[in-house]
A and B are shown apart, each in its own frame.
Chain A
Amino acid sequence: MTGLQPQPYALALGDDALVLAQRLGEWVARAPELEEDVALANIALDLLGQARTLLTYAGELEGAGRDEDALAYWRDDRDFRNVLLVELPGGDFAQTMARQLVFAAYQYELYDRLRAGADETLAAVAGKAVKEVHYHRDHATQWVLRLGDGTDESRRRMVAALDAVWPYADELFEPFDGAGVDPAGLREPWTAYVGSVLAEAGLAVPEPDGRRSGGRRGLHTEHLGYLLAEMQHLHRSHPGATW
Chain B
Amino acid sequence: MREVVAAVQDPELPVVTIEQLGILRDVRVDDGGHVTVDITPTYSGCPAMDAIRADIESALAEYGIHSVDVLTVLAPAWTTDWITPDGRAALQDHGIAPPGPAAHGTVTALTLSVRCPHCGSPDTRELSRFGSTACKALWVCRSCQEPFDHMKAL
Contact = CB atoms under 8 A, between A and B. Distances in A.
B47 interface: yes
Contact of B78 (A128, A130, A134, A135): A128
A128 B75 contact: yes
Contacts of A45: 43, 45, 47, 134
Interface of B is mostly: loop
A35 B75 contact: no
Contacts of A43: 130
Q: Give the size range of B's interface with the partner.
A: 20 to 34
A124 B74 contact: yes
A179 B73 CA distance: 23
Contacts of B27: none
B41 interface: yes
Contacts of A85: none
A53 B128 contact: no
B45 A46 contact: yes
Given A131-B154, A132-B44, A42 B134 contact: yes
A16 to B, nearest CB: 14
Given A35-B127, A45-B47, A128-B44, A53 B134 contact: no
Contacts of A131: 77, 106, 154
Given A45-B43, A48-B45, A128-B77, A38 B130 contact: yes
Given A35-B130, A112-B106, A127-B76, A46 B138 contact: no
Interface in B51-99: 73-78
Interface string A68-101: 0000000000000000000000000000000000
B108 A46 contact: no
B74 A128 contact: yes
A46 B76 CA distance: 17
B134 A46 contact: yes
Contacts of A19: none
Interface of B: 41, 43-47, 73-78, 106, 108, 127-132, 134, 138, 152, 154
28 contacts: A35-B127, A38-B130, A39-B128, A42-B134, A43-B130, A45-B43, A45-B45, A45-B134, A46-B43, A47-B45, A48-B45, A49-B41, A49-B46, A53-B44, A112-B106, A120-B75, A124-B73, A124-B75, A124-B77, A125-B74, A127-B75, A128-B44, A131-B77, A131-B106, A131-B154, A134-B108, A138-B129, A139-B129
